Structure 1
Amino acid sequence: MSRSTPVYNPPDPNAPGKPHVPDWFPPPATKADLDFAKLRTIDLSIMDSGDETAIKELVAMTKQAILEDGFLFIERYGVSLEQLHRQFSLAQYCLYNISEEDQQRLLFNPDVSGKWAGYKHPWGFKREKKVYDGITQFNWYSEQWNDCDKIPKVILPFMDEIVAFNEFLEQSVNRRILALFSKVLELPDDYLWDNVQSHEGSPTGEGYYRHALFKPFSQEAEKLSKGLRFHGHCDYGTTTLLFSVPVTQLQIWGNDEQWRYVPYKPGSIVINIGETLEIVSGGHFKATRHRVFKPPADQHDFERLSIVQFNSSIGDLRMGPCMDSPLIQREGFPDYQGAFREFQKARANGLSVPTNAEWREIQIAQTTNTTDVSRNVLGQDWIMHEGKLMNKREFHGVTVILPV
């Protein structure tokens, strides 16, 4: 039976007491002739169509995409372009106008907390200021959602809109995506939602929501980082909902072991597969290897504004492959270097793998800045692996090898 696709109905942006928020205008897309990554696009409304043939075809396409790329575009998910641009306007307003007092009061402390919670200053990914990287953020975790004193005062009048947007993303968009992924594993639609996804206690469960602003590189940072804004990495949770933006900086690592920029698709969501889903799927889902790199020359002086919802798995679980999946029972485990294989190695060596919370928090706490030339060199964190420059780290006895 068909049902209508859920549609986002936001609170009134012009309600009494709300200050005027200048509109965000997307900068022009690059005109550079780039070899963009070729990613599949999923029409999420098909999940609500009741057309079993169309749904079956969607599942088959999704299966290939998440095994080969770990990246998808999602369209027709229930949020209009106008509604989405309102959220970008709020992000811009927040990061342009957060007071110096709130910058200090709400300053993040990832080394201690294992979270990005609060305000990130533009001097690296540590609380202590290092080289200017031009990246500011505000990150909402459960403590920010549940305590207005932990939110910038400038954005408080608009929290009804931000909360409603995140609740729709989590409860509607992400839930439908996980239903699609459950179908790929040949499990009941709500399997991943009920057994893996954290969705209690806040609009993002144990995950978080981010406003981020990338100002143009300083000459010093660009030289020290060799153009990297954020190292090659995989996200730690279930899915990441990253809204496509025109400033071309996001890159993915393809099966041919090359970095390629992700193209701009207005209004679309770029879906990253997280390591939790790679592990639960026994390697049938490929965690997205991605990084943030300097843009093409014609966008060098542009600001890149970003809004992202990072969805998390239940923190106290120790993830392993879901052997109830008929797909896993029938096809076994794909073999390639990634989180799933490394977790399996750890178990084979008698180690207790970390909980989901331990896994994500230690990696956040031990993040290195792209400008840290003492760590980002061969013989320290970097190695040559099968002829490619890789970043090798170890967390809780589990080795992580990812392209720089």
Structure 2
Amino acid sequence: MNQRQFLSFIATIVAVIGVGQMAQTIFVPAIPDMADGLQVDPEQLQALMAAYLIPYGLLQFIYGPVSDRIGRKPPLLFGLALFATGCLLAVMATNINTLLLATFVQGAGTAAAGALCRSIPRDHFNSEQLIRVNAFISMAVMFAPLLAPLMGGLCVAYLGWRSVYWVLLSVSLLVIAVVVFRFKESLPVQQRNFENPLSLYRHVLASRQFVLYCSCLMATLGAVVAFESVAGILYGDVLNLNPFLVSLLFILPIPGSLAGSYYASRCKSRKKLSRIAITTALSGGLVILIPALFSTVATLSLLLGSILVFFAAGALFPTFTSKAIEPFPRQAGVAGALLGGAQNLGAGVIILIMSLMPMHGQLSIGITLIVLVMIIALTLAKAAQSEMHNSQW
């Protein structure tokens, strides 16, 4: 694969995964208007992210093995079409239940991209090249949900909250066209796996390395979406900032996430990278937690804390993903599905739990971040011990 083909490949994967990531947060600046239009309490709309992430996680367990059997392109196109259907349903929603259903359909559709954006790179690359590619993909995973609120804020300011779903529908149709005309099937017929999916899942889950790094990914994504789910309410409903300013505050952590992904692509010592990332994430959690102990909600605290947390996530995502999926070239679809499904399902459960808890300003998110970072640190330590033990044998 030459440089031009490589860039085209990265652009296609980024487009495919980006549209689904946008859907997670593009509605955040619209929450006050959505609450007024649907006559519900703004905190109830936290459930939208859970309604998206849970099917996004669960359906990946199906898309992955199906793609190992029939190839990557057909399930990818089916999922994107289902996502577009969910966007159209959201445009027509007149109550929160219909909007939750539409969001569920969106998550069910984009689960295809979530699973295959991990499997497709494994079809082409391994080792350090795979980490490099996953670093670029991680930039999209972090960049899209942070940039999307700016687009959402502009839509709400000039066209109303429903326009955010018109935008998602338009982007999804464009991505479908890109996949139809630009994406070449990455899994040749002779490399497809026709084994029983359950036996494939058992094979992957039997790897202690996979399970531990997958757990790290679940906690890392949980930290990111936990912040995203409450930041819009804290910025817009508690601090009473206007939608455009809320969207700008979501964009400001982007340099941090991009810097983390770039650092991951360049750092030769995975141990050093993990240590720096975990320390940075813990610092971000403390920056958010400490003002909350004094019953304060502070814009600067939320912003600085988010930058630190997103830097850590940008650095950890490509490393954990590559470490988990690299041992499974023949089961990349299943391994990718397990990775994406487990981490998004776990993140959805975290958001659902948070939506049922009293917010108490930024206290709940501060505590949540600290707990998740400690889980990452402990699980990573076990993963390192496991790799050391395996290398001795």
Interval of TM-score (by shorter of Structure 1 and Structure 2): under 0.3
**Greater share of helix residues, 1 or 2?**
2
Q: Which has the higher contact order (CA 8 A, sep 6+)?
A: 2
TM-score (norm 1): 0.27
**Greater share of strand residues, 1 or 2?**
1
TM-score (norm 2): 0.27
